[in-house]
């Protein structure tokens, strides 16, 4: 298999050298500290796009110097990524309109490196990583990532937006907490930022803690949180058919799989569409890094 470098930029930047769908050596992290401010995207939200590209190029140069045998670099980031351009990115708004692939190629060239650079959505990188590490590169893989934003990853990747986090799951006009400004979106219910706007007196983790203790306001919201994810998943089943769905991400510990299954059971009633399955995966940044590397040569 080709040797690649995978880079993922979400709340932080993680990069690694990939060989035969495995990480070689240690992953590089920015910022290096383990504890980050959960309010938004940590240190990245205030960094100009050019500084982020330079940081990525430094990591790639350190992992894959000239003569390393690396064939390509895959860089995953939040937002709608097409043909190397970030068309929109509500969670890292400074990236909107950036020619990401071209900027990174130029930065590597200035360092004497000539690598193919492929850019993709971060949730798509997770889906590709699941496919690569589980020997499922020949089948459809769909993944929900639950974090500051809500991502929907799909492998094989296509040129479609696949902005599943912005699936409309309610017609309530008051549901306007999504970072993109749209109403009724899944991310406007489940996203970390959206929950902080909704509960000005509680942090997101406290909402779930209070729900477990019987607080009705919080319990009702947690029910809506699961119903929204079920509605978005049911929509994908009705559009593309049943199959397996994976769930992972920074806030995956908030997901009650039994509650999700109960809601989904009530939403998908046509018997040919009921052959779906759900699996929770612990958060593992190496999966997305492997997926970004795999996408670079797929």
pLDDT digits (tens, 9 = 90+) for 266-297: 999 999 999 999 999 999 999 999 999 999 99
For residues 41 and 46, what is the distance between their CA atoms, to the nearest angstrom? Answer: 9
- Structure tokens of 74? 């895959």
Tens digit of each residue's pLDDT (9 = 90 or more) over 250-274: 999 999 999 999 999 999 999 999 9
DSSP class of residue 7 equals E
Tens digit of each residue's pLDDT (9 = 90 or more) over 112-159: 999 999 999 999 999 999 999 999 989 999 999 998 899 999 999 887
For residue 224, give the 3-state DSSP assignment.
helix
The pLDDT score that the predictor gives to residue 34 is: 56
CA distances from 152 to 58, 75, 83, 161, 275 (A): 29, 17, 19, 10, 20
Inter-residue contact 280 to 233 (CB < 8 Å): no
- Average pLDDT on 109-113 reads 98
Inter-residue contact 74 to 5 (CB < 8 Å): yes
Tens digit of each residue's pLDDT (9 = 90 or more) over 9-23: 998 999 999 999 999
Domains and CATH numbers, the chain: 3-127+285-295 (3.30.420.40), 136-280 (3.30.420.40)
- Stated pTM of the model: 0.94
Higher pLDDT, 43 or 72: 72
**H or E element in which residue 25 lies:** strand 22-30
Tens digit of each residue's pLDDT (9 = 90 or more) over 194-220: 999 999 999 999 999 999 999 999 999
Residue for token digits 């020619």?
99
The pLDDT score that the predictor gives to residue 100 is: 98
Of the candidates 132, 182, 137, 142, the one whose C-alpha atom is nearest the C-alpha of residue 162 is 142
Whether 36 has a pLDDT exceeding 70, the answer reads no
Mean pLDDT of the residues in the chain? 94
Tens digit of each residue's pLDDT (9 = 90 or more) over 152-200: 999 998 878 889 999 999 999 999 999 999 999 999 999 999 999 999 9
The pLDDT score that the predictor gives to residue 46 is: 87
């Amino acid at each position: 298999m080709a040797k690649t470098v995978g880079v993922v930029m979400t709340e932080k930047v993680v990069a690694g050298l990939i060989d035969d769908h495995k990480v070689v050596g240690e992953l590089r992290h920015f910022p290096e500290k383990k504890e980050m401010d959960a309010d938004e995207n940590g240190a990245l939200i205030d960094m100009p796009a050019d500084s982020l590209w330079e940081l990525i190029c430094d990591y790639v140069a350190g992992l894959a110097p000239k003569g390393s045998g690396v064939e390509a670099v895959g860089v995953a980031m939040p937002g709608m990524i097409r043909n190397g351009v970030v068309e929109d990115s509500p969670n890292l708004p400074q990236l909107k309109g950036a020619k990401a692939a071209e900027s990174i190629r130029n930065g590597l060239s200035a360092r004497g490196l000539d690598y193919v650079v492929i850019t993709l959505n971060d949730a798509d990188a997770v889906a590709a990583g699941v496919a690569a590490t589980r020997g499922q590169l020949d089948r459809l893989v769909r993944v929900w990532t639950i974090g500051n934003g809500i991502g929907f990853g799909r492998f094989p990747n296509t040129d479609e937006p696949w902005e599943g986090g912005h699936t409309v799951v309610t017609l309530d006009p008051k549901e306007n907490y999504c970072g993109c400004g749209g109403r009724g979106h899944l991310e406007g219910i489940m996203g970390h930022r959206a929950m902080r706007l909704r509960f000005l007196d509680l942090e997101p983790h406290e909402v779930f803690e209070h729900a477990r203790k019987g607080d009705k306001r919080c319990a009702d919201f947690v029910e809506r949180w699961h119903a929204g994810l079920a509605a978005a998943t049911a929509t994908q089943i009705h559009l593309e058919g049943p199959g397996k769905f994976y769930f992972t991400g920074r806030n995956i510990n908030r997901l009650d799989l039994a509650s999700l299954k109960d809601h989904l059971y009530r939403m998908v009633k046509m018997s040919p569409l009921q052959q779906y399955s759900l699996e929770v995966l612990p958060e593992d940044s190496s999966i997305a890094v492997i997926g970004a590397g795999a996408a670079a040569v797929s």
